[in-house]
Structure formats: structure tokens, C-alpha cells
């Protein structure tokens, strides 16, 4: 099966570009200029980067069920990547699927590509038939493009989240170390993250000199900035060989079938994350270390010596209190060094982040206190978004500031901190209420949702009813059941503390109910019952029993 180093956040045509029949390469391409002198030796920028090498990549794969990779800046955790075998990720994989249903009302099709749930293909992610020859194509309705049982080549752009199936696209792309192959386009360009115009012109000229196939598109990644023409040529040849293998599988396989599968987390992360500032890659198993060295020898041989086996008896993630830092990722409240804090609340539709000054009261001016706390919170929020991999709509509620200049200062600081984020991010201006709205690329469930499951007692709300509330609720249920003329007795099972409350604090109420109805009432302790669990059996004449239950935690 064709496989190469994978990318979790790959470039792909924007919706605007696809509607006009042009891809991201058109917009990314700069004007050509004379190429810079090529050097086979390491560029001078690499020597400068060596003086800034304070980053370390730690790879923990000693447990087969889970792989973890941490990027440390000094002793601070900056990025964390976790992959669990049981999750069955499909992101970046290419499949030959079959259309099983078309929904004109939402202009989407559902594709069977061999996974547990069908994938979702929106019309905006469907490549027009004449996009390869550069002509603008007016978007038509999806039912006029696809039909049921039709086979289609698709790529997963977002893994399943909750009940939502994976998101698919027909704009297929395959990443290499320095280039991205986009066979559905015929333009070459440079990543939009490379903003220097001289660098963009130099890289585009270098790519044109390689004379890639005219009917395919290529984009130079940020990792290719300091690479030589020979490096790019090697990556180009590899991608072309890989695409030929993909085309052979497409012709041979019958849908649904896997055509191209992304590499494992180690190879994917080294390919996409590694840069000269990472001075050391430590891996805790000999097999994975050799695998990483082999890959580094193929794509960046001069850095092979940075891949090392971690042979300390302590677990690798116990360096620099890393496990403690990871545990803090799941906390709702994050403390700031100044004494302030940020509170992160995740909902199904959005993420809300609130900034609090807390104990920080060093400044006499409340406005200055708010300003300094907000500045500190801006960088920490950006870090937490990366670590927790939060996506979708995010609302950042900073401490109120009346001064417009201070609001702009916090806004600039937040935008600067978000530049290190590898996900696609869109930021709005700070409102007069000191709120910054933003969206962050969501390609899968957040880190918390992967490691935790909703509490069976509170259903994930974080709250349960008080003992008094549950005791009164049970009494109301008993009263309701006693209103039936054919009821002869009541047996109730509740949590131990609720039973104590009803039997002791509400004993007089129970006696009054028994005397008024002439029927017996018994309150029992339910084994393994949660605080909100109850089961009430109303015994009827003729041996027929009626039951009212609220069982969240156990089955009776």
C-alpha cells in the first residue's frame, strides 16, 4: 500500500479559490526573479538557527496503545500530539469511495469509503470537471454532478467528531518533506505562511526550474525555505513516483478501498514539525529510534545525528515535570504567573475563554492591572489552544479596558502569539467589550474529548443535584404515584445520602403521607446508585406494578 510521511494540517484549495476554478497555488505564487546562488552546503540561516536551538522533541511510544510527542521550549511544553490506536484516525488518507446517498437540501453527498460511518462530501469540496485546464467553472448542484453508486476518489480532511462523520474532499493532495503535490491543479506556488516577497520569488523560480509536470500543481512548504534545488528535486521525484502508485491502485481497486494511507505519528510529526531550531529528538524505544533515523537520512541527512535513543531509567515524559504539565491541560482553570487566571469552557458549538485578574493587584490603576493581566493571558491562551487542540468558534473574553490603545495592544499581542499556531486561524478585532472572536481549524476531536468521556452521573455538565433537591424530587414522585386509587404501597431505591435525608429530615412528611393515604412507603438504599439515580415501584391491586426510574449510572 502506498504510504509516505503524513501531514495532519495540509494545505488545500480554499472554497473561494475552488469556486473560481483556481487553487491556493494561484494566490500563493509570486512573480519570478533571478534565482539566488545555490549552495549544497547548509545555508547561513541554519548556522544562525543553531544559536537559537532551545527546543527538544520528546517521543514516547513505549506503550503500544498510545503514541505521544511533545515539543519542549526549554522546560516549557509548547506542543503536544497524541494518537491512540483505538481511535482509528483517517485524516489525510485517500480512499476510493462510493456515493450511497445525495441530499440536495444541504448540497452534500454521503460516501462509503470503508469506515464505520460514511463520510460527508459538500458540493464546495467537489472538484469541477474542468478545473484542471484552468477554465472557470460555474458551480452546479451536486445532484447533477454525482449519482448514487458512483465511485469517487476522496481524501479525509476532518476526522469524525461525535456523531458527525468524517469530512471529505475530492481536491486530493499528498505532502512531502518540502513540497505538496496537488494533482487536481496545474499551478505552482509557495505556502502563504512564507510572507517575505524576495523569498517567495526565489522559491517559485527554483520550483519552475525543476520543470514539474504541466498538469499537476505543487506548493513549496515552509520547511523548504532554506533547501537547495537538489533537495526540492529529490522531493519532487518522490511525490511523482508515489502518485503513479496511487493511480495504479485507483485503477485496480474496487470501492470502498484505501488508496493512500498516512504514516504513523512519528514520521508525520518529524516531517511536518521538525526545523533546525529543534536541537534534539529523543525517542524511548530502539525500534522507533531507528525508524526515525532512517526517515531523517532520506529527507534531511545532515540532521540525522539529532535523533537519539533515550536510555534514562526514568520515563521520558517525567523530564522537566512534563507529565504534570500535561495533566494541567485538562484543567478548566489555568493559573497565570501574575496571580490571574483563565477559565476554559468547552461546549458542543463553541469554546469560551474568560480572563480573570485573580490575586494580581500590584498596580494602583485598575486599568493598568487589567492591561498587564490581559497581555499575559494572550500568550497563554494561544499556548492552551495549541496544546488542547481546540477548534471551531472560540470566544476570548478579556478583562474590560476603556483605553483604546491598551485594547489594541492586547489585540496585537494575541495576534503575534497566534502566529506560532500551525492550524488555520481567523481573528476578529477586539470589541469595545474586550472580546476577541476567532475560528481555529478543527480537524478532529479536542485532546480532552479523546482522553475523557462524559461523566455518567452528571452527563458531562459538571453539576449534580444537591441532596435536598433529590430528596424533594423523590417525595414529589411518591406523592404523584399515591394519587392513583389502585396503589397499595410504594418502594423507593435512592442514593444512600438521599435515603438518609428522606428517612430522617422528612420522616414526619412520610408518616403524614402514609396516614393520609393508608398505604405503606419504604425508602431503601440503592446499591451503586448515583446521586441523581432513583427507582420507585408503585404496587397496584391485582399484582400489577408501575415503575418510575431515573437511572444514569447503573442498571437495576
Express each pLDDT in 15-40 by its tens digit: 333 333 333 333 333 333 333 333 33
In tens digits, the chain (556 residues) has pLDDT values of: 444 433 334 444 443 333 333 333 333 333 333 333 333 333 444 444 444 458 899 999 988 888 899 999 988 899 898 888 767 678 889 999 999 999 999 999 999 998 888 999 999 888 875 444 444 445 678 888 889 999 999 999 888 877 788 999 999 999 988 899 998 888 888 888 788 888 888 998 898 888 888 888 999 988 888 788 888 888 899 899 999 999 999 998 888 999 998 888 888 888 888 888 899 999 999 999 999 999 888 777 888 999 999 988 889 998 878 888 888 888 889 999 888 899 999 887 789 999 998 776 665 788 888 999 999 999 999 999 999 889 889 999 999 999 999 999 999 999 999 988 888 899 999 999 999 999 998 776 777 777 777 777 777 777 888 999 999 999 999 988 888 778 888 999 999 999 999 999 999 999 998 888 888 899 999 988 988 899 999 988 877 778 888 876 544 3
Domain ranges (residues) in the chain: 3-290, 330-450, 467-550
End-to-end, the C-alpha distance of the chain in Å comes to 49
Query: And the C-alpha cell for 484?
Result: 392513583
Helix/strand/coil for 514: helix
Cα–Cα nearest to 185, from 155, 159, 218: 218
Burial class (CB in 10 A: 0-12, 13-18, 19+), 19: middle
Cα gap 229→209, rounded to integer Å: 9
Coil, helix or strand at residue 103: strand
Contact of 25 with 185, CB cutoff 8 Å = yes
- pTM of structure: 0.72
CB 420 within 8 A of CB 381: no
Closest residue by Cα to residue 498 from 548, 547, 536: 536
> Is CATH 1.10.3470.10 the right assignment for the domain spanning 467-550?
no
Query: In this predicted structure, what is the pLDDT of residue 139?
Result: 60
Q: Are 17 and 24 in contact (CB under 8 A)?
A: yes
Q: CA 146 → CA 109, 123, 133, 314, 527, distances in Å?
A: 8, 10, 20, 56, 56
Alpha-carbon distances, residue 199 vs 31, 34, 423 (angstroms): 11, 11, 22
SS3 496: helix
CATH number of 3-290: 2.40.50.140
CA-to-CA separations, 447 to 83, 90, 115, 142, 461, in angstroms, rounded: 10, 16, 22, 34, 18
**In residues, how long is the chain?**
556
Q: Alpha-carbon distance 219 to 190, whole Å? A: 5
One DSSP character per residue, 283-296 reads ESSHHHHHHHHHHH
Task: Describe the strand order of the beta sheet including 487-494 as a list of residue ranges.
Answer: 520-525, 487-494, 534-540, 545-550
Angle between helix 507-517 and 467-482 (nearest 10): 0
* Euclidean distance between CA atoms 29 and 298, whole angstroms: 28
Q: Looking at beta carbons, which pairs linking 80-89 to residues 24 or more positions away fall under 8 Å?
A: 80/326, 80/329, 80/387, 80/447, 81/265, 81/269, 82/447, 82/450, 82/451, 83/264, 83/265, 84/450, 87/450, 88/115, 88/116, 89/159, 89/444
Amino acid at each position: 500500500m502506498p504510504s509516505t510521511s503524513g501531514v495532519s494540517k495540509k494545505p488545500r484549495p480554499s472554497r473561494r479559490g475552488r469556486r473560481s476554478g483556481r487553487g491556493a497555488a494561484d494566490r500563493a505564487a509570486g512573480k519570478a526573479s533571478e534565482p539566488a546562488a545555490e549552495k549544497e552546503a547548509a545555508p547561513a540561516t541554519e548556522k544562525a538557527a543553531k544559536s537559537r536551538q532551545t527546543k527538544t522533541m520528546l517521543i514516547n511510544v513505549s506503550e503500544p496503545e498510545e503514541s505521544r510527542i511533545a515539543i519542549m521550549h526549554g522546560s516549557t511544553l509548547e506542543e503536544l500530539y497524541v494518537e491512540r490506536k483505538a481511535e482509528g484516525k483517517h485524516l489525510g488518507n485517500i480512499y476510493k469511495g462510493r456515493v450511497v446517498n445525495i441530499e440536495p437540501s444541504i448540497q452534500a453527498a454521503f460516501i462509503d469509503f470503508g469506515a464505520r460511518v460514511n463520510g460527508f462530501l459538500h458540493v464546495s469540496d467537489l472538484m469541477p470537471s474542468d478545473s484542471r485546464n484552468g477554465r472557470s467553472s460555474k458551480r452546479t448542484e451536486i445532484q447533477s454532478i454525482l449519482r448514487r453508486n458512483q465511485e469517487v476518489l476522496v481524501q479525509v480532511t476532518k476526522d469524525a467528531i461525535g456523531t458527525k462523520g468524517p469530512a471529505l474532499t475530492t481536491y486530493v493532495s499528498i505532502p512531502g518533506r518540502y513540497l505538496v503535490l496537488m494533482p487536481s491543479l496545474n499551478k505552482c506556488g509557495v505556502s502563504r505562511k512564507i510572507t517575505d516577497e524576495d523569498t517567495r520569488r526565489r522559491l517559485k523560480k527554483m520550483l519552475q526550474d525543476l520543470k514539474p509536470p504541466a498538469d499537476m500543481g505543487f506548493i513549496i512548504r515552509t520547511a523548504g525555505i532554506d533547501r537547495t534545488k537538489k533537495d526540492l528535486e529529490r522531493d519532487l521525484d518522490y511525490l511523482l513516483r508515489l502518485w503513479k502508485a496511487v493511480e495504479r491502485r485507483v485503477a485496480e481497486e474496487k470501492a470502498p478501498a484505501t488508496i493512500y494511507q498516512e504514516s504513523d505519528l512519528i514520521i508525520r510529526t518529524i516531517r511536518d514539525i521538525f526545523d533546525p531550531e529543534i536541537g534534539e529528538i529523543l525517542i524511548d524505544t530502539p525500534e522507533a529510534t531507528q525508524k526515525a533515523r532512517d526517515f531523517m537520512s532520506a529527507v534531511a541527512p545532515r540532521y540525522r545525528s539529532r535523533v537519539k535513543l533515550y536510555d534514562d531509567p526514568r520515563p521520558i515524559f517525567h523530564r522537566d515535570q512534563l507529565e504534570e504539565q500535561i495533566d494541567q491541560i485538562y484543567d478548566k482553570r489555568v493559573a497565570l504567573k501574575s496571580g490571574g487566571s483563565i477559565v476554559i469552557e468547552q461546549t458542543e458549538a463553541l469554546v469560551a475563554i474568560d480572563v480573570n485578574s485573580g490575586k494580581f493587584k500590584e498596580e494602583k490603576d485598575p486599568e493598568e492591572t487589567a492591561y498587564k493581566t490581559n497581555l499575559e493571558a494572550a500568550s497563554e491562551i494561544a499556548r492552551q489552544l495549541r496544546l488542547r487542540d481546540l477548534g471551531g468558534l472560540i470566544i476570548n473574553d478579556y478583562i474590560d479596558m476603556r483605553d483604546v490603545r491598551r485594547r489594541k495592544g492586547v489585540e496585537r499581542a494575541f495576534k503575534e502569539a497566534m502566529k506560532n499556531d500551525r492550524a488555520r486561524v481567523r481573528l476578529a478585532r477586539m470589541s469595545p467589550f474586550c472580546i476577541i472572536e476567532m475560528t481555529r481549524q478543527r480537524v478532529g476531536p479536542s485532546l480532552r474529548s479523546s482522553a475523557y468521556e462524559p461523566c455518567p452521573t452528571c452527563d458531562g455538565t459538571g453539576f449534580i443535584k444537591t441532596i435536598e433537591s433529590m430528596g424533594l424530587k423523590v417525595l414529589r414522585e411518591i406523592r404523584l404515584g399515591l394519587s392513583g386509587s389502585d396503589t397499595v404501597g410504594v418502594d423507593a431505591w435512592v442514593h444512600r445520602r438521599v435515603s438518609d435525608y428522606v428517612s430522617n429530615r422528612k420522616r414526619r412528611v412520610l408518616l403524614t403521607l402514609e396516614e393520609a393515604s393508608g398505604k405503606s412507603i419504604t425508602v431503601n438504599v440503592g446499591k451503586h446508585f448515583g446521586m441523581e439515580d432513583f427507582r420507585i415501584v408503585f404496587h397496584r391491586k391485582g399484582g400489577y406494578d408501575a415503575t418510575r426510574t431515573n437511572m444514569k449510572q447503573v442498571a437495576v
